Structure 1
Amino acid sequence: MSRVRTLEADDVPAVAAMFQRLLRKKAPPPPTSLTDYIRRLYLEAPFCGGGVHSLVHENGEGKVSGFIGVHALPMTFNGRKLRAAVCGSLMSEDRERDPLAGARLLKAFLDGPQDLSFSETANETSARLWTRSRGTALTQYSLDWVRVIRPVSFALGVASRRIRIAKVFDPLASVVDNIWRRHLGPGRLSWSALPTSGTGQKAANVREIDSIQFADLLDPLTSQYALRPDWKECRLDWILADAMDKPDLGDLVFCAVSSPTGVRIGAFAYYAKPGGIGSVLQIVAAPGQAGHVIDCLVDDAAARGLGGLRGRVQPALLEAMLGRRIAFVHAASTVVHSRDADLLLATTDSQAFLNGIAGEQWCRLIRGRFT
């Protein structure tokens, strides 16, 4: 008889093999680095335990046939401490023999002791399972934003994810992009590219900082949210160290943004690889300052030679992004579940700080390298 139980150390090789097959779309066996990382992330990390566990599904033969990866996230709601659980990988095989394995895993997870459950990487199948389990899909948190800086480099960056040889055209792309951008007038808004003069907005100053300084800015710059991570309890040192170990995405750059008078108004963290598409991990901004912070991010990426930027939307940033030639796409849904109506209202009313560091985008299972 099939059952759901807590992940144990002996299950990790089977989970890694499943991850390799179903999510990485590669033939097993998985590399040792992937197996070791799954063990470290779901069994040994500082946010493991405390009643919040990753789970496996066993089929009738006692074989691991499904998995849901979970880590705890300390949060506060109007000053009240609570515990959230972030759902990462949700996968099951033998769907023809046992089509309800995924649903059993999700139900067991949602029945856990956490006050709030959420995921920011739910595909269409997972999102349907969440909503059928009385979860809610948050439209305003479920969009990716895209800004083109160098159009030819951007196109090659997209193509190179499928066709590696496309990168040989990078030198030619740089020449064409420079000509294209010079023909755009200073400060001109264009969907196709960013002028060589940048956004034209000089109302703020940018300074590169380290991960410790960035972590110190998260609490004051998210204080306006009713529901947010308890940054002092989140082990940001562990999370940011993990986030920095994604060499294929480039260096993880941390920057602080200040007004001309020196008042700190925002910060951002993004992966920068010249000629590539920068992946934005997090943007934080003081109320009313999101536009200035976004402009500084785009200008900083242009100065580092990036072809474009892509990141996850926060509702507080959405209004500022409109009119800045930023496009939006839907790749995955942010979904939430709670038995506390006030917590749910905070998420649906855009009063929650979710996604990015307050989620799972920092995790190496998302676009990390395992060889």
Structure 2
Amino acid sequence: MKAIEMDDTGVMVAPDSKDMAADPIVARRRGRVRPMKRGDIAAVAKLFNCIFRKNEADGSRELNRYLETVTFSSPLYTPETGSIVHENAEGEIDSAVLSVPMQLQVGERTLTARLLCAFMAKGKSGALGAAHLARTFRAKHQDFCFSDNASPRSADHWEAGGGHILPIQSLEWRRVFRPFTSNLQRLYVAAPALRKLPLRIVALPLDRLARRLLPSFKPATAPGYRVEPAGYEEFREYASTVLKRFYVRPAWSAGEFSWLIGLASQNLTCGTLNCRKVLDPKGETAGFVLYFGEANGIARVLNLICTQGREREVVGQLCAFFDTEGYCDARGMAQPFLMKAIMRQRQLTFRHSGYFCMVSRHSEIVDAALSGDMYIGGLASESWSNLLVAF
């Protein structure tokens, strides 16, 4: 069998017959990979519904509008860093990858990474198209490309393309404060119709009993520490300083950060977006947290950052704060630098929520990621996206 190479689009080409690629008949039969255009939104929305919602309906006006916002309105958007689609021989879009550009600071230089939000393929031609799309994201083609919600099959493709799975970031930590309400939230995910029933009336007294019998459900405060409201710009300025401890970290320019906050604020299914800071006994800032807060429900932590050496106190005080606010549990992406502090908490579990996969042609970025010298997640991942929960 003759060796197979790839052209600039990632499509397979036989090296001794590249003139075939120029043959319009051959090209038409195999389809083509190209950047997604605004005119593709309706087709991609329908494909999204088919793959992720298991129906053949056209995308709603809200889904179409959100897809356009996510894929084209970023201040970093260019066709080279945006989403890509595969057209089959009939000119129909049978597979697509949604991509959001995100700027990272790597040592002293800045580069634009690509966050892959959704990988969709339909039918036999879509399977072939998906293979072509996957080859586009091989390590040798990418400065930095990642996904924090990959399926097992997608993770296999990432590794086959020279990528890596980060096992810690592939976990979600969960600290429970009110066990029966927390389990009720899990039940709602499996059967949303149950939200209409007054089940919480039963859960509340059981939670009170559990907290009396097992005091470990109540987290202890960090002596002298307190939590106060804070602004998003305060968070960004603090992050620009404390995240310098990591070789790879989000750049979060004012324009990109504002865009991400605007999109995250629309994710009302997960609750209200909040920003809080943790102050030490001297009144100095020890850490910050961005989180979605669902009344009487879950505190979903997007980004938790802190001064190096204050991880234990900041995590402890935030857990106590979430408990006081009445949340049933708090959860967020596991981070290597936070693991010791998180594991100090009682009533803690870890859950595999999806594979965190990344590829890069730069060995220093790969080394930093594998050694834990990288901060990523929250706004610097897919956690803020409404595509995960609302559509």
Q: TM-score, normalised by structure 1?
A: 0.91
Correspondence 1:248-287 to 2 at 5 A: 248-287=269-308
Counterpart residue number, 2:202: 172
Residues 266, 386 of structure 2: 8 Å contact kept: yes
Is 1:140 the equivalent of 2:168? Answer: yes
Residues 76, 228 of structure 1: 8 Å contact kept: yes
Correspondence 1:167-206 to 2 at 5 A: 167=195, 168-185=198-215, 189=216, 194-195=217-218, 198-206=219-227
Alpha-carbon separation, structure 2, partners of 1:100 and 1:290: 47
Q: CA deviation at 1:332?
A: 0.6
Alpha-carbon separation, structure 1, partners of 2:145 and 2:285: 32
Q: CA deviation at 1:165?
A: 4.5
Find 2:183's aligned residue among 130, 155, 170: 155
Q: CA deviation at 1:113?
A: 6.5
**Deviations, residues 181-227 of structure 1 (Å, cap 9, x unaligned):** 13334xxx3xxxx23xx324334211111323222222122121011
Residues 35, 79 of structure 2: 8 Å contact kept: no
Find 2:149's aligned residue among 121, 136, 160: 121
Correspondence 1:325-364 to 2 at 5 A: 325=346, 326-364=348-386
Is 1:11 the equivalent of 2:40? Answer: yes
More helix by share: 2
Aligned to 2:202, the other structure's residue is in SS state: helix
Q: CA deviation at 1:267?
A: 0.9
Q: CA deviation at 1:112?
A: 8.7
Is 1:107 the equivalent of 2:135? Answer: yes
Counterpart residue number, 2:60: 31
Find 1:291's aligned residue among 312, 316, 321: 312
Alpha-carbon separation, structure 2, partners of 1:116 and 1:299: 37
Correspondence 1:239-254 to 2 at 5 A: 239-254=260-275
Alpha-carbon separation, structure 1, partners of 2:43 and 2:69: 15
Alpha-carbon separation, structure 2, partners of 1:175 and 1:76: 49
Q: CA deviation at 1:34?
A: 0.3
Counterpart residue number, 1:303: 324
Identify which range, 330-339 or 216-225, moves more after superposition: 216-225
Alpha-carbon separation, structure 1, partners of 2:56 and 2:190: 18
For the structure 1 residues 77 and 293, does the alpha-carbon distance in structure 2 shift closer, same or farther, using more than 3 Å as the test? same
Q: CA deviation at 1:230?
A: 1.3
For the structure 1 residues 153 and 27, does the alpha-carbon distance in structure 2 shift closer, same or farther, using more than 3 Å as the test? farther
Find 1:228's aligned residue among 231, 246, 249: 249
**Deviations, residues 111-152 of structure 1 (Å, cap 9, x unaligned):** 797521111111111111110001111112211111111011
Alpha-carbon separation, structure 1, partners of 2:55 and 2:306: 40
**Deviations, residues 233-263 of structure 1 (Å, cap 9, x unaligned):** 6611110111111222211121101210122
Residues 51, 113 of structure 1: 8 Å contact kept: no
Q: Which has the larger radius of gyration?
A: 2
Alpha-carbon separation, structure 2, partners of 1:287 and 1:75: 20
Counterpart residue number, 1:365: 387
Matched residue type, 1:291: R
**Deviations, residues 1-57 of structure 1 (Å, cap 9, x unaligned):** 221111011211010011112113344122110011111211232221163121001
Alpha-carbon separation, structure 1, partners of 2:49 and 2:224: 47
> What is the Cα-based RMSD across aligned positions, in Å?
1.9
**Deviations, residues 331-371 of structure 1 (Å, cap 9, x unaligned):** 2111111111111101111111112111121122122x34x
Matched residue type, 1:337: V
Residues 81, 114 of structure 2: 8 Å contact kept: yes
Alpha-carbon separation, structure 2, partners of 1:30 and 1:250: 24
Residues 140, 350 of structure 1: 8 Å contact kept: no
Residues 88, 360 of structure 1: 8 Å contact kept: yes
Alpha-carbon separation, structure 1, partners of 2:208 and 2:174: 20
Q: CA deviation at 1:163?
A: 2.1
Alpha-carbon separation, structure 1, partners of 2:385 and 2:206: 35
Counterpart residue number, 2:74: 45
**Deviations, residues 260-283 of structure 1 (Å, cap 9, x unaligned):** 012211111111123322221111
Aligned to 1:70, the other structure's residue is in SS state: strand
Q: CA deviation at 1:313?
A: 0.8
Structure 2 residues without counterparts, runs of 5 or longer: 1-28
Matched residue type, 1:269: L
Alpha-carbon separation, structure 2, partners of 1:81 and 1:143: 28
Aligned to 1:141, the other structure's residue is in SS state: coil
Aligned to 1:161, the other structure's residue is in SS state: helix
Percent identical pairs in the alignment equals: 25
